Structure 1
Amino acid sequence: MNLKPAVQVHRRIAEVGCEAWDACAGNPDYAANPFVAFDFLDIAEQAGCAVERAGWGPQHLSVEDEAGRVAAVMPLYLKSHSQGEYVFDHAWADAYERAGGTYYPKLISAAPFTPVTGPRLLVRPDVDPGQARAILLGGALAVCERYDASSLHVNFPTEAEWSWMGEQGLLLRQGQQYHWRNPGYGDFEDFLGALSSGRRKTIRRERREAQVGVDEIACLTGGDLTEDHWDAFFAFYMDTGSRKWGRPYLNRRFFSLLGERMADRVLLVMARRGGRWIAGALNLIGGDCLYGRNWGCIVDVPFLHFELCYYQAIEWAIARGLGRVEAGAQGQHKIARGYLPVPVRSAHYIADPRLRAPVADFVERERAAVDGEMEWLAEEFSPFRRDGG
C-alpha cells in the first residue's frame, strides 16, 4: 500500500481523531500500550498539562495512504524546557547556551510525563512500517527546521525503532530502569520461592509491618473508582511532588478525565487508616504489563511504599497472568524487591554539528557505562536464588 509522501501537522490530537489515531496505536505489535492511546494523550491536552502554555506544544504528525486514510502517526511536542521527560539533557542545554547557542525550542516525541517504553512511530497494521517510519521521521526533522529547533528527541522508543533510528543517523542513548518479570508464577508465594531465603524473610516482614500499619488495602479499577478516590490520590500526588521537585506536572482535572475515559485501564492501590485514605499508588494496565506511575502518602507507615507500589503490583500481575511490572524511573532499592535492571533508550538529532559531536561522544561512552552497571547490579544484588537453596 503506497503512502502520500507528505505529513500533516496537528496542533491537537483531536484533529487526528480517536478512531484514526487508535487504528495506528492499536497495532497488535505494540501490546496495547496505554500511553500512546488517543485517550491518554488527549486527556493530557484537555486537562491543560500537555499544551503550549505548559511548554508542551503539540505538533503531532500523521501520514495518509492513497485513499486518504490515516496510515501512521507520531506524538510530537515543541518544548520550551526539559521538564517531565525523564531523559535528562539539561547539561547539553547548559553547555550549548554557554557557547552562545539557543537550545529551546526543541522537539520531543514521547508520552508526556511518562518514562515508559513504547512505540513512537505508530503504523497501522496493514501498512509497510519501513515506508511509514521514513516519512514520519522526515516530517519530524522538517518541523525541527521550520521552528529552528535545536534538536529532536525520541524518548523511550521500542528497541526496534531505536535501532532503526540509529541507522538513519540519530544519536543513540541508553539508560536503565527496574522491571519485574513473570516467568509463570502461580501466586506471590511462588514468586517468593524463587528468592534467596534472606530476601524471602525480609519481604514477608516488610509486607507484615505495612499491612499491620493500615486498616485496609484496596485495589480499585473500572467502576470501583470514584471522585472521592481521585480527591484523595491527588492530595498524595501533590504531597510527593512538593517534597521531591516542587512542581507536579499533572493537575486534578487530569485524574478525573483518566477515571472517566480510561477507568478499565487504571489500577489504583489505596490504603486506608482511621476511616480515611492515607496513601495510594497509580498504575496503568497494558496488554501484558502493569505500569506503575505515581505514588504518594499523607501518613508515614513503615514499608507501605514497598507494599503498595511493588508487592501489590506483583500480586495483581500474577493473578492476571501479566508478563511484567514496570515500576517507573530510578531506584536501586527495587532490585531487592525483585525488579531487575533493564535498558531503556532514546534517540537524538542535534542540528548544530558543534553540539552534535560532543553529544555523540558522550552518549557512546554513557551506553558502555550503563551496560556495565546493569551487569554489575544484576550480578551483585539480584535477590533470586543462585544455588537452588
Structure 2
Amino acid sequence: MASSEISLEAVSSVSQISADEWDACANPRASRRLLNGHDKEASSSFANDSRSCSAISYNPFVSHAFFAALEKSDSACPRTGWGPRHLIARTGESIAGIVPCYLKSHSRGEYVFDRGWADAFERAGGNYYPKLQASVPFTPATGPRLLVRDDVDKEGIQGALAAGLVALCEATEASSVHVTFAPEDEWRFLAERGFLQRTDQQFHWHNEGYGNFEDFLGSLNSRHRKAIRRERRDALANGVIVHWLTGSDITEEAWDAFFDFYMETGSRKWGRPYLSRSFFSLIGETMAKDVLLVMARRNGRWIAGAINFIGSDALFGRNWGAIEHHPFLHFEVCYYQAIDFAIQRGLQRVEAGAQGEHKIARGYLPQTTFSAHYIVDPALRRAVADYLRRERQYVAEAVRELTEAGPFRKGADKPS
C-alpha cells in the first residue's frame, strides 16, 4: 500500500470515532466475530466464554468503551492534563488504524517514569511539556498501541502511524512521544523508525494448566506453600467473606462501596486518585461483563475490594482499597482470589499491575515490559539513549535474578 493512499488526522475525543470503527482496529478478531456471529451483545461476552478464548484475542483496555468511560467521566481530559489527540490513519473513507494518544502537561498516571528526564531538560532551559503519550491512561497493562484492522496492510498502516506520531509531535510543539506498555513486536517496530527502547518489569502469574488452587500450591516449595495457606486463613479469620461480582451482579451500591475504598487508599498513596466516581458507573453500563469486582464483607457491610478486568486470556488486576485493615487481606483480595478466578475461567495469566517484588512469594514472577520514546532535542535524546542502554541491562539482570528466586519447587512446572 503506497503511503499516498493513507491520510492521517488527529481528533480531540474518542467520541469522534464510532465504536465499531475503533474496535475493528483495537480488537479486530473479536470485533469481526461479533459482527459476523449471532451474539450482538458487547464483545466482552466472548471474553467470558472459555470456548471462544482460543479463537479471539480481546483486550478490554483498548476497547472504545474503556476510553469513552475515561473521557466522558472527565478522568482523562484537558483539565486533568490528558488532552486527547487520537491519531487516525484512513484509507479512503475507512479508518484503517488508530493510536490512542494524549497531549500531556505532566507525567502522572503513566507508570513509566520520565520525571528525571523532564527535570534535566528544564534545568538546561528546555520545555519538556507538553509531551505526547500513546497509552491507556492510568493503566499499566501491556496491549496494542498501533491499532490496525486485520483486513489491511498491517505494516504499511503501522508505518504511517509511527510517522504520524512524529508529525503530530512537531505539530503540537511537544518535546517527545512516549509509547508505553507496548507489545514487544511494536517496540521493535518503533525502534526501527527512530524511537528509543526502554524496558521495565512487572509481576505476572502464569497458569500451568492447574485444575484448582491446591494444584497451584503443589507447584511451590514447602515454605511458600505453608505461608500462603496461613495468609489465606488469617485474612478471613475475623469473619470476612469474599464475593466475586461481575456482569449484572455489580450494582451501583457495590460501585459506591468500591469507590469509597479506592478514594481512601488512593488518597493515602497518591494524594489525588485519578478516576472519578462516574467512571465506574460508565464501566458498569458498558463493560460489566469485562469486570470482576472482588469484594470483602464483614458484619454485613463491604470493607475492601479490588477491581479486575477480564480479557480473553488474562485477568488484569487494577485498583484496590479498604476501609478496614486485616492481616493479609490485601494479598487475599488482590492476588489469591485473582489466581482462583483465573484457574476457574481457564485464563492463561494474571497481570497484577505495576511494581511489587512482594508478589514473587505469591507465585507472580517478573515479566519484561516495553516502551518506545521519540525525543526531539538531540542533546536530550543522546543523554536518554545512554541512560536507557544501561537501564535495559539492569532490568534484564534483575528479571533473571528474581525469576531464579521464585517460590516454585525445583523441577515443578513454572512459567518460562
Shorter-chain TM-score range? over 0.9
Does 2:13 align with 1:12? Answer: yes
1:255-282 CA-to-partner distances (Å, cap 9, x unmatched) read 1111111000000000001111000010
Q: Residue 211 of structure 1: which of 236, 260, 270 is its match?
A: 236
- Rounded Cα–Cα distance in structure 2 between residues aligned with 1:320 and 1:71: 33
Structure 2: gaps of 5 or more residues: 31-55
- Alignment partner of 2:182: what SS? coil
Per the TM alignment, residue 211 of structure 1 is displaced from its structure 2 partner at its CA by: 1.7
Tell me which of 141, 149, 154 is aligned to 2:174.
149
Q: Is the 8 A contact 2:6 2:91 kept in 1?
A: no
Aligned AA for 2:379? R
Query: In the alignment, does 2:151 pair up with 1:126?
Result: yes
Match of 2:408 in 1: 384
1:53 aligns with 2:79: yes
- Distance between the aligned counterparts of 1:119 and 1:31, measured in 2? 11
> Which of 18-27 and 29-38 deviates more?
29-38
Structure 2 matches for 1:348-359, cutoff 5 A?
A: 348-359=373-384
Per the alignment, in what secondary structure is the counterpart of residue 205 of structure 2? Answer: strand
1: distance between equivalents of 2:125 and 2:237? 58
Match for 1:7: what amino acid?
A: L
Q: Secondary structure at the match of 2:359?
A: helix
Equivalences for 1:338-357 in 2 at 5 Å?
338-357=363-382
* Residue pairs, 1:255-334, within 5 angstroms: 255-334=280-359
Residues 1:171 and 2:172 are matched in the alignment: no
Are residues 16 and 378 of structure 1, via their aligned partners in 2, closer, same or farther at CA, if it must alter by over 3 Å?
Answer: same
The residue identity in structure 1 corresponding to 2:183 is: T
Paired residue type of 1:384? F
User: More displaced, 204-213 or 175-184?
Assistant: 204-213
Matches within 5 A, 1:186-225: 186-225=211-250
Whether the 8 Å CA contact 2:246–2:291 is kept in 1: the answer is: yes
Partners of 2:19 and 2:177 lie apart in 1 by 26
Q: 2:27 aligns to what? A: 26
Q: SS of the residue aligned with 1:103?
A: coil
Partner Cα distance (1:368, 1:215) in 2 = 44
Provide closer, same or farther for how the CA distance between residues 17 and 388 of structure 1 changes in structure 2, counting only shifts above 3 A: closer
Identity %: 57
TM-superposed deviation, 1:215? 3.4
Contact 1:80 1:104 in 2 (8 A): yes
After TM superposition, the structure 1 = structure 2 runs for residues 73-88 of structure 1, keeping only pairs within 5 Å, are 73-88=98-113
2:369 aligned with 1:336, yes or no?
no
Alpha-carbon distance in 2 for matches of 1:368, 1:9: 36
Does the 8 Å CA contact 2:162/2:193 hold for their aligned counterparts? no
Deviation readout 1:297-331 (Å, 9 max, x if unpaired) = 00011100000000000000000100000000000
Secondary structure, in 3 states, of the residue corresponding to 2:372? strand
- Give, in angstroms, the shift of residue 19 of structure 1: 0.7
Question: Distance between the aligned counterparts of 2:341 and 2:365, measured in 1?
Answer: 18
Aligned residues between the structures: 387
- Aligned residue identity for 1:105: P
Q: Secondary structure at the match of 1:86?
A: coil
Q: 1:234 to 1:377 in 2, by over 3 A?
A: same
How far the C-alpha of 1:214 sits from its partner, in A, is 3.5
**For residue 10 of structure 2, what is the amino acid of its counterpart?**
V
Letter matched to residue 127 of structure 1 = V
Secondary structure at 2:142 match in 1: coil
Greater shift, 80-89 or 125-134, is seen at: 125-134
Q: Distance in 1 between matches of 2:239 and 2:359?
A: 22
Return the offset for 1:388: 5.9
- CA distance in 1 between counterparts of 2:193 and 2:108 reads 27
Summarize deviations over 1:219-278 as a string: whole Å, max 9, x none: 000000001101100011011111111010001011111111100000000000111100
- The Cα of 1:27 is off from its aligned counterpart by 2.2
Residue 90 of structure 2, aligned match among 45, 50, 64: 64
| 1:245 corresponds to which of 255, 262, 270 | 270
CA deviation profile, 1:25-59 (whole Å, cap 9, x unmatched):
11239821111100000110000011111100000
RMSD: 1.4
Normalising by structure 1, report the TM-score. 0.97
Q: Does the Cα contact within 8 Å between 2:295 and 2:333 map onto a contact in 1?
A: yes
Alpha-carbon spacing, 1:289–1:363, altered in 2? closer, same or farther (3 Å): same
AA matched with 2:176: S
Q: Deviations over 1:149-171 (max 9, x none)?
A: 10000000111000111111110
1:236 aligned residue: 261
AA aligned opposite 2:66: F
**Is the Cα–Cα contact under 8 Å of residues 213 and 302 in structure 1 kept in the other structure?**
no
- Tell me, in whole angstroms, the C-alpha distance in 2 between the residues paired with 1:42 and 1:364: 37
Q: What residue identity is the alignment partner of 1:25?
A: A
